[in-house]
Structure 1
Amino acid sequence: MVLVLAGFFAKAQETKQLTGKVSYISAQHVYVRFTSTEGINMGDTLYVKSRGKQIPGLVVVQRSSISCVTTVVGSYSPKMNEQIHAILKPKATITEEKKPVPVPRKPVAVTPQPARAQPKLIQEKSRLYGRVKLASYSNFSNTDAKNQQRMRYSLSLNQQNIGNSHLSFDSYITYNHRTGGWNADNQSIFNSLKIYSMAVGYNFSKNTSLWFGRKMNTKVSNIGAIDGLQFETRVKNFTFGIVGGARPDYMDYGINTNLPQFGAYVSHEAKGKEGMVQTSLAVFEQMNGSNTDRRFVYFQHSNSLLKDFNLFTSVEMDLYQVKDSAPTNTLDLTGFYISARYRASRKVSFYASYDARKNVIYYETYKTLVDLITDNATRQGVRFRVMVRPINYLIVSAQAGYRSRKGDPDPSTNYNFFITHSKIPWLESSMTLNVTKLKTSYLDGLQYGANLSKYLLNGKLYGSLSYRIIDYSFLNSNSGINQNLAGCSFAWYIMKKLQLSMNYEATIEKSNVFHRMYWGLSQRF
């Protein structure tokens, strides 16, 4: 009997692992979709596999029945559809032995006692988590251009059920300035201050909530941040929501009450044997002053019901336009995206997508000119990728893309190939070699490089070295971009929630050298 009980409790303490994937990446959060989030709590750490080890990558700040909203930990760089792991540790439960109640031989007189007030049950426990970060970005060169240094301060704060109440608070704020003044180079405060989220919520029940302020809604994430009211309620597998407020200013992301918007959405979620299916439908009206600027319908569907197969699609259709100064109702496809991933075996997987969405607007970016050109040339159009793991620790991937847009003189093509070995013998490090070929109506170029990374001091220190060669030619002129980029970076996990990181990159041209340096200190709580 003792051995049986010991085996039972040992089994109860076994860890359980859930596997999800990155479904959406915003400026503030990373969204991870699971078949079910049962057992995952806010504040839990999610892991990514690197060199056969589970490395902390994300921290959960919100969750629904099938997805988690997370923030990045350390130097981890999330990628779409990347596998994420949640490690659950269920607690063994011991059933209290019931003792027989002795029956008195003689009747016992019972004196009535006054009823005691029952303590109020707390439905949700207050949780506080977030991150504060101080960072510096420096640019200097051997040219006549003025050296620049920018400071960036960011605060991410999320408190669920403040004081064990039904109130919650969510915020993500950044402030940038050049050295020499807090706002010396800007006329509008919002050119430096970016409020990506700042909202107060109230949970009427487990299934019904109301939020006020600036917040992105995961059910209609394509709409972006919303300034105003968001009401949502869940009835069985259906979620209904209404939104009213304004859009952030499209110039500096500040507050602009002259850009009102309102709409409604319905979402359905269901769980199958192999995975989940989720479908959303939304209708929105966006205005400029008192005039209708845009009226459209948005549809989103994700499906993982088939084994080893994942499908995602989104559609935007405009319902209103102005022709010859007269408003008319229409049905015009303005945005479409579909992607599918199939894991044929443990060693082979396929991915295909078609992207006809609008270009991304960056309110904050530290990408180089080459990175921006590459992103613009590869994001839209048809894309196909195959990934093979022929042996342990080795990944080989090949990708091809094609885009033909109305107005482009010629179609655009792009090809990418990379090979990664995550555990090089003797070095105990990871190395990646990659090649990218681009050809557009104005550009023909080649980019190739290598990256070597390694964890040291039992995972407390991470370092990497990189080198890239850029050879881009502009077809309509004799100019081009010929650069060699050398870089290094490290991340030091000083304590469990305190991290220091640094990145340096030198861009070497024929007669000029440009330097970019970054360092940051972040504290999670």
Structure 2
Amino acid sequence: MINFRSGFIASLLLFLAGFHQVLPAQDAPKIQYISADHVYLNIGMDQGVQVGDTLHLNETDFLVVVSVSSSRAATLANRPLPASFTNLPVPPAYLTIIANRATGKSAEKPLPAGGFEQEKWTRETTAKKKKREPVVRGLFQVQQIHQSFTVSGKSFSYNQPGYTLYLTVPELFNENWGFKIRYRALYNNLPYGRDYDPDKSFLSSFDNRVYEVSTFYSSGEGGAFFQAGRFSVRTLWSAGIIDGALYEIQGTKTWRVGVVGGSSPDYKEMAFQSRNPKYGLYAQHRSGDNQTEAIGWIGEYQNGTLSREFISHDISWYSDRWSWSQSGDIDINRGWKGQRDPAVILSNLNLYGRYRFSDWIQPYASGNIRRPVWTADSRSVADTLFDRKYQQSLNLGLRSDFKSGFYSDGSVGYRHRNGDPFGTLYLGLQTGVRNFFQSGWSANSHTSGYFNEIYGGWTQTFSLAGMLPFEINSFSSVTIQGYTLGGESSVNLDYLFSESLSRQVLDRIYLSGTTEWGMGETLDLFRLFLSASYRF
């Protein structure tokens, strides 16, 4: 069994040693596509993302995760992003950092995430590297969450402390070896079974999750790359987390091929297990920094039985005027799976395209197809109970930016599940202005709605962001949502108020806090999130 405790102790010793230089991320995930109300990333629980994480993009744009799947995270932007952000990477080492939301005056020292221009993950040749002392980059954060809420007239409250460590040592022993760790721990003190029954005791547990502990070796561009331990395949995100090894050959500056093998961890506890072997082959082609194509085969098994075999692909092309991204999986069904589904079936497909005619005419479109697939865990489910329906969605939008600082982004979308008698229409409109009443402040309004034959609703959010005295970054928002169910004529209303403050207090120490109040037909809550982080 892998000794994760030893890796964690080693990372703390490196942290205390005082290595402080910050290096750019090398394997940053990307935004897949943008729908009417959400931004979809090509990462998820497999890479350590959890609901409530803040994804720092730059000094003005950030996302907050509202739902997570195993390999992709559906995130809702506090400030919905323009189409131009598609294909740009998200620094993975800063997923839990509250963003520096000031658009004017910047901090004395820039945030480690830097700009997107710094997020180059192509490795330099050994000949170009200069000998230097080992460096460490990453984040150590402690947090405290307090929440009080009311369900069915009964009040509850709980606290959830935790800490996070992201650590990368690009040159551990020499210029070729490196080490990475991604670790998160939460102390859960939740109502038993999440049913909020006051007659049952609270369930307390310490949730330790090791998302990565690996060492890697790189002989430089045109050479070989080796990685062992627990890690995510950077070239093939749909492979998820693997406890095993990877070997990659970079034949030229544009081509790389690799093979990976190991086992899947237990996703409930993230513990090592050997009963779920996983293997994969992949190839990737890169042309400069704006054109990437990757394809791979992944096989997952459970106790010698086929669980899933599929071909995954990822395409990303973009320039100053246009961009196109595409990703998806094609499942290959044989054995017991071939008796239930066709031999080859498209299980999911994500498409996104954008063209900029001018700053004020930037149309974009996105679409996706998602189909449930059989796995070894769902094999025992009866055919009559397994949901074979797949959903399709299409979203069209127009982004406009004006020299005055005003911008708008309108979109319309339609989602339908095959076999359902009706679909759902989505509408969205975002407007905002930079330098609202003084330099460094911005105001934003986001309106969205959804409608079908059974239910409908709308959400309206107003937000204000800027820098307060003493270089305190502030983000305030008010959200009102209304909805109707089952043909009701009355509208149910909920209100949510939020205030976030963050500040760099010392050279590398940041403090942040977020307070939320909710009230209405289904909301009666108070939430407080506090964190202190050290970036190195």
Please say whether Structure 1 and Structure 2 have the same fold, judged by a TM-score greater than 0.5: yes
Counterpart of 1:280 (choices 257, 279, 294) is: 294
1:434 matches 2:455: no
Specify the alignment match of 2:243 in structure 1: 227
In the TM superposition, residue 515 of structure 1 has moved relative to its aligned partner by: 0.7
Cα distance change, pair 152–67 in 1 and its aligned pair in 2 (3 A): closer
Give ranges in structure 2 of 5+ residues lacking alignment: 1-27, 33-40, 50-55, 62-87, 102-113, 120-128, 191-201, 373-390
3-state DSSP of counterpart to 2:237: helix
Answer yes or no: is the 8 Å Cα contact 2:444–2:464 preserved in 1.
yes
Out of 280, 303, 317, the position equivalent to 1:289 is 303
How far does residue 75 in structure 1 lie from its aligned partner after superposition? 2.2
Cα pair 1:122 1:164 within 8 Å, conserved: no
Output one character per residue of 1:273-313: Cα deviation in whole Å (capped at 9) or x when no partner: xx632111101111011011111111221122x65111111
Partner in structure 2 of residue 107 of structure 1: none
Instruction: Say if 2:266 is the partner of 1:244.
Output: no
The 3 A distance-change label for structure 1 pair 77 and 493 is closer
User: Aligned partners of 2:144 and 2:347: how far apart in 1?
Assistant: 39
1:384 deviation in Å?
Answer: 1.4
Equivalent AA in structure 1 for residue 216 of structure 2: G
Return closer, same or farther for 1:436/1:46 CA change in 2, 3 Å cut-off.
Answer: closer
Runs of 4+ residues over 6 Å off in structure 1: 476-480
In the alignment, the residues of structure 1 paired with residue 245 and residue 527 of structure 2 have an alpha-carbon distance, to the nearest angstrom, of 41
Question: Structure 1: which amino acid aligns with 2:273?
Answer: N
Letter in 1 for 2:528: M
Cα distance in 2, alignment partners of residues 48 and 478 from structure 1: 43
1:336 pairs with one of 333, 341, 349: 349
**Post-superposition offset of 1:383:** 1.2
SS class of match (1:249): coil
The yes-or-no answer on 1:172 pairing with 2:160 is no
CA contact (8 A) 1:124 1:164 kept: no
> Greater share of strand residues, 1 or 2?
1
User: How far apart are residue 204 of structure 1 and its match?
Assistant: 4.0
SS of residue in 2 equivalent to 1:408: coil
The match for 1:130 is 138
Matched, 1:446 2:455: no
User: Structure 2 matches for 1:134-153, cutoff 5 A?
Assistant: 134-141=142-149, 143-153=153-163
Offset at residue 391 of structure 1 (A) = 3.8
Instruction: Say if 1:199 and 1:247 are closer, same or farther in 2 by CA, change over 3 A.
Output: same
The residue that corresponds to 1:106 in the other structure is: none
Shift of 1:324: 8.5
**1:270 lines up with 2:278 in the alignment:** no
Q: CA deviation at 1:480?
A: 7.6
Q: CA deviation at 1:248?
A: 2.6
Task: Assess, with a 3 A threshold, how the Cα gap between structure 1 residues 128 and 46 changes in structure 2: closer, same or farther.
Answer: farther
Q: Map of 1:64-79 to 2, 5 A cutoff?
A: 69-72=91-94, 74-76=97-99
Q: Percent identity?
A: 17
The answer to which structure, 1 or 2, has the higher relative contact order (CA under 8 A, 6+ apart) is 2
Give the alignment partner of residue 404 of structure 1, picking from 398, 416, 428.
Answer: 416
- Which amino acid in 1 is paired with 2:226? L
CA distance in 1, matches of 2:457, 2:186: 34
2:143–2:161 contact (8 Å) kept in structure 1: yes
Q: 1:521 aligns with which of 512, 528, 532?
A: 532
Task: Tell me, yes or no, if structure 1 residue 258 matches structure 2 residue 275.
Answer: yes
Q: Which amino acid aligns with 2:428?
A: N
Structure-2 change in CA distance of 1:514 and 1:49 (3 Å): closer
* Partner residue in 2 for 1:500: 511
Counterpart in 2 of 1:200?
Answer: 215
Q: 2:30–2:89: 8 Å Cα contact kept in structure 1?
A: no
Larger Rg over CA atoms: 1
Correspondence 1:419 to 2:450: no
8 Å CA contact 1:490–1:503 kept in 2: the answer is yes
Alpha-carbon distance change, 257 to 323 in structure 1, aligned in 2, over 3 angstroms:
closer
1:317 maps to what in 2?
330
In the TM superposition, what whole-angstrom CA distance separates every residue of 1:198-232 from its partner, at most 9, and x where no partner exists?
11112244431111112112210122222211111
Q: Distance in 1 between matches of 2:310 and 2:412?
A: 32
Does structure 2 conserve the Cα–Cα contact (< 8 Å) formed by 1:154 and 1:175? Answer: yes
Amino acid aligned to 1:226: I
Q: Distance in 2 between matches of 1:234 and 1:330?
A: 33
- Structure 1 unaligned spans of 5+: 1-19, 31-44, 51-65, 89-120, 360-378
How far apart, CA to CA, are the structure 2 residues paired with 1:240 and 1:172? 25
Q: What is the CA distance between 1:401 and its match in structure 2?
A: 1.1
Instruction: Sort the Cα spacing of 1:159 and 1:307 in 2 relative to 1 into closer, same or farther, 3 A.
Output: closer
Q: How far is 1:492 from its partner? A: 1.3
Aligned-residue offset at 1:251: 3.3
- One-letter code aligned to 1:233: I
The secondary structure found in structure 1 opposite 2:235 is helix
Q: Shift of residue 269 of structure 1?
A: 1.2
The answer to whether the Cα contact below 8 Å between 1:48 and 1:85 also exists between their aligned partners in 2 is: no
Is 1:354 the equivalent of 2:362? no
CA distance in 2, matches of 1:47, 1:394: 19
For 1:479 and 1:323, the matched residues in 2 are separated by 50
Match of residue 209, structure 1, among 225, 229, 235: 225
Residue type at the aligned position of 1:158: T
Report the AA paired with residue 498 of structure 1. I
Structure 2 residue aligned with 1:38? none
Matching of residue 185 in structure 1 with residue 211 in structure 2: no
Displacement of 1:270: 1.6
The letter of the residue matching 2:279 is F
State the AA in 1 paired with 2:301: M
Q: Which amino acid aligns with 2:173?
A: G
Are 1:86 and 2:117 matched, yes or no?
A: yes
The structural deviation recorded for 1:167 is: 2.1
Contact (CA 8 Å) 2:89, 2:116: kept in 1 or not? Answer: no
Give the match for residue 112 of structure 1: none
RMSD (Å), alpha carbons? 3.5
Change (3 A) 1:129 1:266: same
**How far 1:46 sits from its partner (Å)?**
8.4
1:159 is aligned to 169
CA distance in 2, matches of 1:256, 1:391: 56
Map Cα deviations across residues 146-181 of structure 1 (whole Å, 9 max, x no partner). 21111121111111111335321111111111369x
Separation (CA, whole Å) in 1 of partners of 2:271 and 2:487? 39
